[in-house]
């Protein structure tokens, strides 16, 4: 069963890459007392994720902040080194927090796994975006198939 609007995010440890190496960050630390836009991609460096999904959030960071968002974060079932390299490659800087769900524990805990084995990806995350208010999901938009529609930065921005 997947997470839904009104549910509290489970407390799971994700990892972010810093100048000093990988750093653990729990979803509780990320979201407690904050408004967070959290979006997930099936894989770093993949075409739709790199060309459309992530850039939309980078380009709209200030608009999110203007609407009261404390943090914009991207999560993927990739290791922290890949997420760090992808963030650097895409020029993320401080705009989007790049989070590794290396073992897929967060993705499984919220029930949004995807079987990407047909493409050589194994178990990954579905593409989605959510707004989280103090740890509680207030908006959840999950893509029903390939492509980018309901989880785009522009769509999520319109929900704030």
Where are the chain's structural domains?
A: 13-157
Q: What is the predicted pLDDT for the residue at 146?
A: 82
Q: How far is residue 12 from each of residues 25, 126, 154, measured CA to CA in Å?
A: 8, 18, 28
Q: How far is residue 28 from each of residues 54, 64, 135, measured CA to CA in Å?
A: 23, 20, 7
DSSP-assigned states of every residue in 38-71:
EEE-S-TT-HHIIIIIHHHHHHTHHHHHHTT--E
Q: What is the predicted pLDDT for the residue at 110?
A: 97
Q: What is the predicted pLDDT for the residue at 11?
A: 96
- Domain at 13-157, CATH from 3.40.30.10, 3.30.565.10, 3.40.50.300, 3.30.429.10: 3.40.30.10
Q: Which neighbouring-strand residues pair with 113?
A: 125
**Residue 2 gets which letter from DSSP?**
-
Segment (H or E) for 138: strand 136-142
Q: What is the predicted pLDDT for the residue at 122?
A: 66
- Active centre residues (catalytic): 49
Judge whether 58 and 41 are in contact, CB under 8 Å: no
Judge whether 150 and 58 are in contact, CB under 8 Å: no
pLDDT averaged per 10 residues in sequence order, the chain, 160 residues:
94 96 97 98 85 92 97 97 96 95 96 82 87 98 90 96
35-40 and 71-76 beta bridge pairing: parallel
| Sign of the torsion angle spanned by Cα atoms 51, 112, 97, 69 | positive
């Amino acid at each position: 069963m997947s997470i839904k609007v009104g549910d509290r995010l489970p407390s799971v440890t994700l990892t972010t890459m810093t100048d000093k190496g990988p750093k653990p960050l729990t979803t509780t630390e990320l979201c407690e007392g904050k408004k967070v836009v959290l979006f997930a991609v099936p894989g770093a460096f993949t075409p739709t994720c790199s060309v459309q999904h992530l850039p939309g959030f980078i380009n709209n960071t200030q608009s999110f902040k203007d609407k009261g968002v404390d943090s914009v974060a991207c999560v993927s079932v990739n290791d922290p080194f890949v997420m760090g390299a992808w963030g650097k490659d895409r020029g993320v800087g401080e705009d989007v927090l790049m989070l590794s769900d290396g073992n897929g524990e967060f993705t499984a805990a919220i029930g949004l796994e995807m079987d990407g084995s047909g493409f050589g990806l194994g178990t990954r995350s579905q593409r989605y975006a959510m707004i989280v208010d103090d740890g509680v999901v207030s908006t959840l938009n999950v893509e029903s198939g390939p492509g980018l529609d309901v989880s785009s930065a522009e769509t999520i921005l319109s929900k704030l």
